Chains A and B, each alone.
Chain A
Amino acid sequence: MKPASFDHLLPTSLHEALEMLNTHAPDARPLAGGQSLVPMMNFRLARPTVLVDLNRISDLAYISDAGDHLAIGAMTRERTIENSGLVRTATPLLYDATLHIGHLPIRSRGTIGGSLSNADPAAEYPATVLALDATLVAQSVRGERTIPAAEFFDGVMTTTLEPDEILTEIRMPKAPPGSGSALVEISRRHGDFALAGVAAQITLDGNSVTDIRLAACGVGPGPIRLAESEMILRERGLSDDALAAAGGAAAAATDPDGDVHATAAYRRKLAGVMTKRAVGKAAARARQSA
């Protein structure tokens, strides 16, 4: 289908963009990579009357080393993140997550800010920022505010952003030395949205788990922090029993919907399996880096 008519505004600065969003609220929408918004517009399921196109604001695309975290501009392309040596070494979980996003041509345009703002429950970035307790920076004409990842996601395709706010920066905590991470997901085809996925980052001291972070995607209205599973593994280590228990806790923590691709029960089961596998893979990588 063809989209409905809209007015296209092309700001060249963040300030200009924010003014436009404010002026044209509530019908204006920001346009980032377009890989989620444009299909919706082509189906006429999304019909913004004004698009504020962020793609010419070069100031919003960057990856910089800010000491204990990487500061990533919201308009940084997923492809850029994938190719960044800095991301690969400093925030390897973000790199791993990126590999699972669709296909290369999607990543050519898709942005981290767009993906997080879109808040698809099956997307990888939301689970990743939640697992790592990233900080998200949002701006509007009223100024800037920082939002912890745990307070950002607010239901299916919903965030706590105001209608005239956009994300400008994502602050990704660097992986602790000696840690390992992995995002493991199961999808029907390569590149499809996950039926269930788990992002894991683990730090080991011998056989003890000194730090573990787990978040699931595809099994709830938004990403789910698997706090119970984390606790089990911190207390009991990585024995088979502990992993099974952690998997069981993850399954219980989920609240998936069923659809043509998978029933709720199956997704719940998969959440458990993905937890075990993600932890196993992350732990193996942690041992390798030791």
Chain B
Amino acid sequence: MDDSVRRESGGYIGQSVPRREDKNLLLGQGNFVADIQLPGMVHAAFARSPLPHAKIVSVDVTAARAMDGVCFAASGDDVMAALPPINGMQVVAPQGWRDRVDTDILIPDQPLIPNDKLRYVGEAFALVVADSRYIAEDALELIEPDLKALQPLPDAESALVDGAPLVHEHLGRNVAAFLHAKKGAGAEGLEAASHRLKRRFVHHRYAAMPMECRGVVADYDTRTDTLTIWSSTQVVHWVRREVATALGMPEERVRCIAPDVGGGFGGKGHVYPEDILVAWLAREIGRPVKWVEDRHEHILNAAHSRDNIYDVEIGFDDDGKILALTSSFLVDSGAYTPVGAGIAGNSIAHMLGPYHIENYETDCKVVLTNRTPNAPYRGAGRPEVAFAMERSVDLVANHLGLDPAEVRFRNMIPPEDMPYEVGLTYRDGVAMVYDSGDYPSALRSALAELGGLETIRQRQKDALSEGRYLGLGLGCYVEGTGVGPFEGATVKIDPTGKIMVATGACPQGQGHETIFAQFAADMWQVPIDDVFVTVADTGHVTQGYGTIASRSTVTASGAIKLATDEVHEKVFAIAANLLETAETDLELRDAGVGVKGVPDMHVSYRDIATAAKPGWGHQRPDGVVAGLESTSYYEPPTVTWSYAANATLVEIDPETGQIAIEKYVEVHDAGVLVNPKLADGQVKGGLVQGLGGALLEELAYDDHGQLLTGSLMDYLLPSASDVPPLAVIHQETPSLLNAFGVKGLGEGGAIAPPVVIANAVCDALRPFKAELNSTPVRWAEIAMFFDQNG
């Protein structure tokens, strides 16, 4: 195969290699969970709670079970008798974090189907399995639940009222976690500040909403006592672990595969009850079982996110230098907390952003309510603190009559101070150190892309004199990426000489198969088509972690490198043996190993693979064991730090409050970019999601705990005509923490848009001293500022 591309370009890393994933998907030959059809397959459906909080008196599935075409039915009693709840701590925070962040954590376990209470609208109370989904839904209508409505806790504040009912009685409280962290003098640092401002910021509830809903197919093979599960998930190894635990099987007898996954963005980043239930059903019934949720089910059950309230106080001097910051915040976690205090932990760590702030103190309550459970969605706690911090910075500027851009420059950590010790502990238990970056340069570039600060302010002035309202919105953040605990990879040289790579990463559109082929092709000096990559299959990598938290580029490449290094050693040793030279005379070239400077002395990987075989006729030197494979685990030392500066210019329609976005700029730095085109796609995709969160998307609950936005007619996703002119500029400041200099970037685009839009609108409305301190940004509220001011 022609190696000229790699040779001419100096390697695949850094090239916008076309995606190998595209062909199947474009031809309509993708394989999503809903596409899987197995002989004898039956279909599951779940009966779901219409009430946010109810005691289950009884659930009678007899009539449903008796229906023609139904082969199985179960109530909560049946399920609780057979299966334990999912351990509430799907993610266990390391001791290092718990040592340095004050925590008081009580996480409820999640029953697969409860038999005591229903705790949110949508929670399952029974299931049926039938010949088709159509029949299964008919059968659901024959189930009569006897439910006694309980007083609902429709939001976090109601759950904290003295005497409020408890979501989980056995916890004795509605707070799943109290957290507290401090830097420097903490709150006391406010006392020295000549100016102090206090504000409340509210970040509303919205969600990942991938185009593909969740789905699981499970098949139990009696002969081998093996369960195979296909799940639209981001964490195949977690699913395997939970299923094996629940069903009392060795993990090695449970295989979980994520085939093509139609988007995840965090919403598929933990184990759901259905992952385990469908597996159990397959073994119970003895037939393959398929469950694919519909969109309404998805909106009610797939994890929601954000939904935070921040009370912030900021202390600063006459120059706008921020001296101290305190925040007290609530996370409305809904009825369960599948990822524990993960989001809140992220928020605590990310609040200070790219600024040097010496005193900081924060406390948090992760509150249980009767809403859908809250789990990470693209940004995972960072958008919420970026909103609070970046609004605060603008408020500081407004208070002093300074330009918000200037206040940012005055507080930003300069590049010469990098690596910068933050004075806080990250979720991985390690003291935070921003590894590399140039924050002021990113902001300068963003402003330049919009014409430069002076020009912008002049345009704004001129517009105002014509009765037009232009605003500049800014938002800067940092993002810890590539978090541990680890990722796994297996690298093998196939007998045909091809490079086989398998890793625990679970892509949902990121292009991992292409990216990791790029890494491996460079590591092995082969044309990229000689590399075969398998992802998201527990059958191929013994231990893996999965794709969440912007981690796979960093962690999977790290694991692939470790495994490659191990195999390299053997390859060189065997090649030296075959070529009868010293290892130091050898180099990788032409899909094999050759003697430096001697073109004819070369052995291919195929030859080496043959020589490596066990048994008669092998050509391994003494001390080199058979086989050319290694399974390795990369345990990152800590996170790498990506960052960005966002800027936008908007114009407000005074009559309607509508916002026209002239241009939205993001200057984004995620270290070395492996595939620039794909990186760009990630940032832009995230950015448009962020705009959705800023302006369109909302999971609205009424005072009775009912979700008002239960379909895509009401939950508004951005469409093509909602995308303003975008400019994404990539800076590449390599990370110091790994061999490739890479950082993670999956989440970045979604972090800043809500605060950037809010800041832009407030900037446009500065003549009215308008403040918008919550999301979503609503036209009606903007229009009101004009009405109130004539």
Contacts and interface: CB of A to CB of B under 8 A. Distances in A.
Contacts of A43: 296, 711
Given A189-B722, A266-B780, A266-B783, A260 B698 contact: yes
Contacts of B713: 39
B658 A186 contact: yes
Contact of B656 (A5, A44, A192, A273): A273
Interface stretch (B83-91, B130-138, B145-153, B387-395): B130-138
B80 interface: no
B482 to A, nearest CB: 35
Nearest to B698: A260
Contacts of A1: 137, 294, 296
Contacts of B718: 189
Given A260-B709, A262-B780, A266-B779, A4 B138 contact: yes
A72 interface: no
Contacts of B34: none
B714 A260 contact: yes
B418 interface: no
Given A1-B294, A266-B780, A270-B656, A190 B721 contact: yes
Nearest to B658: A186
20 contacts: A2-B137, A4-B138, A5-B138, A39-B713, A43-B296, A44-B137, A186-B656, A186-B658, A189-B718, A189-B719, A189-B721, A190-B719, A190-B721, A191-B719, A260-B709, A260-B714, A261-B714, A262-B780, A266-B780, A266-B783
Interface string B94-133: 0000000000000000000000000000000000000001
A215 B296 CA distance: 34
B783 A189 contact: no
B739 interface: no
A273 B696 contact: no
Nearest to A266: B780
Contacts of A260: 698, 700, 708-709, 714
Contacts of B709: 260
A-B interface, 5 closest residue pairs, ranked by CB to CB distance from nearest: A266-B780, A190-B721, A2-B134, A273-B655, A260-B700
Interface residues of A, number: 23
B716 interface: yes
Contacts of A265: 780
Contacts of B714: 260-261
Interface string A246-277: 00000000000001111101100110010000
A90 B103 CA distance: 72
Nearest to A261: B714
A39 B294 CA distance: 13
A6 to B, nearest CB: 12
Contacts of A4: 138
Interface in B430-475: none
Contacts of B134: 2
A142 interface: no
Contacts of B294: 1
B676 to A, nearest CB: 31
Interface in B716-738: 716, 718-719, 721-722
A99 B706 CA distance: 35
A60 to B, nearest CB: 28
Contacts of A263: 780
Contacts of B655: 273
Interface in B308-364: none
Interface in A25-68: 39, 43-44
Interface of B: 133-134, 137-138, 294, 296, 655-656, 658, 696, 698, 700, 708-709, 711, 713-714, 716, 718-719, 721-722, 779-780, 783, 787
A269 B698 contact: no
A39 B708 CA distance: 17
Contacts of B716: 188-189, 192
Contacts of B719: 189-191
Contacts of A273: 655-656
Nearest to A43: B296
A261 B698 CA distance: 10
A189 B696 CA distance: 8
Nearest to B695: A188
Contacts of B721: 189-190
Contacts of B656: 186, 270, 273
B714 to A, nearest CB: 6
B240 to A, nearest CB: 31
B133 A2 contact: yes
Contact of A269 (B133, B296, B783): B783
Contacts of B783: 266, 269
A188 B696 contact: yes
A228 B716 CA distance: 35
Contacts of B780: 262-263, 265-266
A259 B698 CA distance: 12
Q: Which of A186, A189, A263 has the most CB of B within 10 A?
A: A189
A139 B763 CA distance: 59
Contacts of B137: 1-2, 44
A270 B658 CA distance: 11
A51 to B, nearest CB: 16
Nearest to A188: B716
Contacts of A261: 714
B726 to A, nearest CB: 17
A222 B350 CA distance: 50
A2 B293 CA distance: 11
B42 to A, nearest CB: 15
A117 to B, nearest CB: 20
Q: Which of B137, B655, B713, B787 has the most CB of A within 10 A?
A: B655
Interface string A181-208: 0000010111110000000000000000
B292 to A, nearest CB: 11
B432 to A, nearest CB: 39
Interface string A163-195: 000000000000000000000001011111000
A206 B217 CA distance: 71
Contacts of A186: 656, 658
Contacts of B708: 259-260
Contacts of A262: 780
Contacts of A190: 719, 721-722
A110 to B, nearest CB: 15
B652 to A, nearest CB: 14
A266 B708 CA distance: 19
A288 B431 CA distance: 70
Interface string A71-95: 0000000000000000000000000
